[in-house]
């Protein structure tokens, strides 16, 4: 029965990728599609192949992409035990539902598209996340701190600043446990973790490609490393406003709830604060240096199956892996044990993103085709920077912000510079239409905080907090009690002031 179901779904996938119902606006019949597929196999240039794929792929081909993202959103809520045991199979399932018929239908062009997204996007993306996660897990802050409103606000502000330099994942893993220990004595502390997710796990990562995966993907596609500093006014405004709201809310709970509860605040023995694993700060600096190097050093490229791979990217990724291994070798095991370091969070991210990057291929290729693709209605809907900000951000809230950024990044390129090679199109976008890229970048990074699934560290922080005894709100409770009330009005102000 299981084999029959898989065959049926793969057959459905073939229907989705190779045709589906005819789209009247394209006027493409079966014979024309077959001819287009044959032409794809004979095309020589990778850019031409990408454009042709975008023209002939039906909109229905994005259904596996929607399927895997809905699985990530809903399975942990309604089938938690099944999800934790079988999420690798779910990711593989959706990847195969798309990949098998895609390869069968478009052969060489499909293989090239798959190799391109894994070699250029997925592998560097995962290597950077792994490096930051590994190195930050070797640093621990020891000692006792009392979580007063002033201290909590200072910790969140420091984490917000740090996130752009060691990544939202690195900053979250480095600081969440000290924040939880500082507030262990408090009864009301859910809001501390929620604002930590807002600021440290998301908004703080908006100034450099190291900060958040969407910006790193933009960097891999030709956006200069320091260009993201143009987002500092938006980032400063949002961060300052959220920190002010947090300070007021935390102060209210601290003075009106904590100090007035029976027995008041418990006495805490103050131990001297110290940081162990400091050598890992050098390793973090090394990772930053490698990313900077790959943005300024251009030794040339090699070609693998028609895909141009930059030599500096090989060097960067190899060195990040080497630095991570050095951290593992030279950090005492006791530090990682005390930090409750576990490989499962990065394993889950790697497996799920492997499926996401496979199934996102049709959306990217269709968007690259611009007005000739089946997602032209998105181009028509997104006319102004505000539209790009909310469309990118709204989808980033539910569909994970890295692939969503990539989708609208390509949407802007397709709208303004359809037919141009990517390096030229990116250069022109930055020079002539920078506000659109700002809106896409800010939307993807900022609104990743709106739900637990908007950015990779969100669920990591939630899981660590729950392990420490914090009763975190449910998926919808997080939205209704916090993000809809606090974040959405903040983003409306960003729209009015900047877009």
Q: What is the pLDDT along the chain (499 residues), one digit of tens a residue?
A: 444 444 544 454 554 555 543 333 344 344 444 444 443 443 334 444 445 788 888 888 989 988 988 888 788 778 888 988 999 999 999 999 999 999 999 988 899 999 999 998 899 989 988 998 899 889 887 777 777 899 999 999 999 999 998 888 888 888 888 898 888 888 889 999 999 999 999 999 999 988 888 898 898 888 998 899 999 999 999 999 999 999 999 998 888 776 666 555 555 555 677 888 889 999 988 998 898 788 778 888 888 877 888 899 999 999 999 999 999 999 999 998 888 788 888 888 889 889 988 998 998 888 777 667 777 777 677 889 999 999 999 888 876 677 778 878 988 888 888 888 888 899 999 999 999 999 999 999 999 999 887 887 887 788 778 877 888 887 778 988 899 999 999 999 999 999 9
Task: Judge whether 308 lies within some domain.
Answer: yes
Task: Judge whether 154 lies within some domain.
Answer: yes
- The DSSP output letter for 481 is I
What's residue 52's pLDDT? 75
What's residue 250's pLDDT? 93
Backbone angles phi, psi at 70, to 5 degrees: -65, -35
Task: Give the burial string for 225-234 (b: 16+ CB within 10 Å, else e).
Answer: bebbeebeeb
For residues 150 and 230, is the Cβ–Cβ distance under 8 A?
no
Task: Give the burial string for 99-118 (b: 16+ CB within 10 Å, else e).
Answer: bebbbebbeebbbbbbbbbb
Q: Give how many domains the chain has, as a whole number.
A: 1
What's residue 236's pLDDT? 96
Task: Judge whether 68 lies within some domain.
Answer: no
Task: Judge whether 65 lies within some domain.
Answer: no
What's residue 29's pLDDT? 44
For residues 238 and 490, is the Cβ–Cβ distance under 8 A?
yes
What's residue 455's pLDDT? 82
Backbone angles phi, psi at 229, to 5 degrees: -65, -15
Task: Judge whether 11 lies within some domain.
Answer: no
For residues 400 and 72, is the Cβ–Cβ distance under 8 A?
yes
Place of tokens 């119902």: 21
Domain that holds residue 227: 109-259+270-498
Place of tokens 């006319």: 383
What's residue 410's pLDDT? 83
State the distance between the two ends of the chain, measured CA to CA, in whole angstroms: 53
What's residue 36's pLDDT? 42
Place of tokens 């960003």: 494
Predicted model pTM: 0.76
Could you give the maximum distance between any two Cα atoms of the chain, in Å?
80
Residue 334, Cβ neighbours under 10 Å: how many? Answer: 11
What's residue 263's pLDDT? 55
**What CA–CA distance (Å, rounded) separates 69 from 364?**
16
Task: Judge whether 93 lies within some domain.
Answer: no
């Amino acid at each position: 029965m299981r084999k029959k179901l898989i065959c049926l779904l793969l057959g459905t996938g073939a229907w989705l990728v190779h045709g589906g119902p005819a789209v009247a606006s394209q006027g493409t019949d079966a014979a024309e599609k077959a001819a287009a597929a044959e032409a794809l196999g004979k095309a020589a240039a990778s850019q031409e192949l990408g454009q042709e794929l975008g023209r002939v792929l039906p909109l229905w081909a994005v259904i596996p992409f929607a399927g895997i993202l809905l699985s990530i959103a809903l399975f942990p809520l309604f089938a938690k035990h099944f999800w934790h045991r079988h999420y690798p199979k779910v990711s593989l399932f959706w990847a195969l539902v798309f990949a098998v018929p895609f390869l069968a239908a478009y052969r060489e062009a499909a293989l090239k598209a798959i190799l391109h997204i894994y070699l250029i996007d997925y592998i560097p993306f995962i290597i950077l996340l792994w490096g930051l996660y590994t190195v930050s897990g070797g640093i621990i802050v020891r000692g006792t701190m009392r979580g007063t409103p002033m201290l909590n606000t200072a910790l969140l502000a420091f984490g917000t600043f740090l996130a752009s330099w060691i990544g939202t994942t690195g900053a979250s893993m480095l600081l969440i446990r000290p924040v939880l220990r500082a507030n262990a004595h408090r009864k009301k502390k859910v809001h501390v973790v929620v604002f930590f997710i807002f600021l440290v796990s998301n908004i703080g990562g908006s100034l450099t490609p190291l900060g958040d995966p969407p910006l790193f993907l933009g960097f891999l596609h030709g956006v200069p490393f320091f260009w993201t500093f143009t987002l500092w006014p938006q980032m400063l405004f949002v961060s300052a406003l959220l920190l002010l709201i947090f300070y007021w809310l935390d102060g209210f709970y601290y003075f009106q709830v904590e100090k007035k509860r029976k027995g008041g605040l418990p006495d805490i023995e103050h131990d001297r604060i110290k940081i162990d694993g400091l050598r890992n700060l050098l390793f973090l600096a090394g990772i930053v240096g490698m990313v900077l190097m790959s943005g300024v050093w251009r030794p040339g490229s090699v070609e693998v199956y028609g895909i141009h791979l930059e030599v500096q990217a090989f060097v960067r990724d190899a060195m990040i892996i080497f630095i991570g291994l050095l951290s593992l070798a030279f950090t005492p095991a006791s530090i990682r044990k005390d930090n409750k370091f576990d490989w499962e969070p990065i394993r889950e991210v790697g497996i799920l993103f492997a499926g996401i990057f496979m199934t996102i291929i049709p959306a990217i290729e269709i968007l690259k085709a611009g007005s000739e693709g089946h997602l032209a209605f998105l181009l028509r809907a997104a006319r102004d920077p505000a539209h790009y900000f909310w469309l990118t951000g709204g989808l980033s809230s539910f569909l994970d912000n890295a692939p969503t950024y990539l989708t609208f990044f390509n949407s802007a390129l397709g709208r303004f510079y359809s037919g141009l090679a990517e390096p030229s199109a990116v250069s022109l976008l930055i020079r002539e239409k920078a506000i659109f890229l700002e809106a896409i970048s800010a939307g993807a990074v900022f609104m990743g905080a709106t739900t637990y699934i908007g950015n990779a560290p969100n669920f990591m922080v939630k899981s660590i907090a729950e392990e420490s005894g914090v009763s975190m709100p449910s998926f919808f409770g997080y939205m209704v009690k916090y993000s809809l009330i606090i974040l959405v009005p903040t983003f409306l102000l960003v729209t009015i002031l900047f877009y």
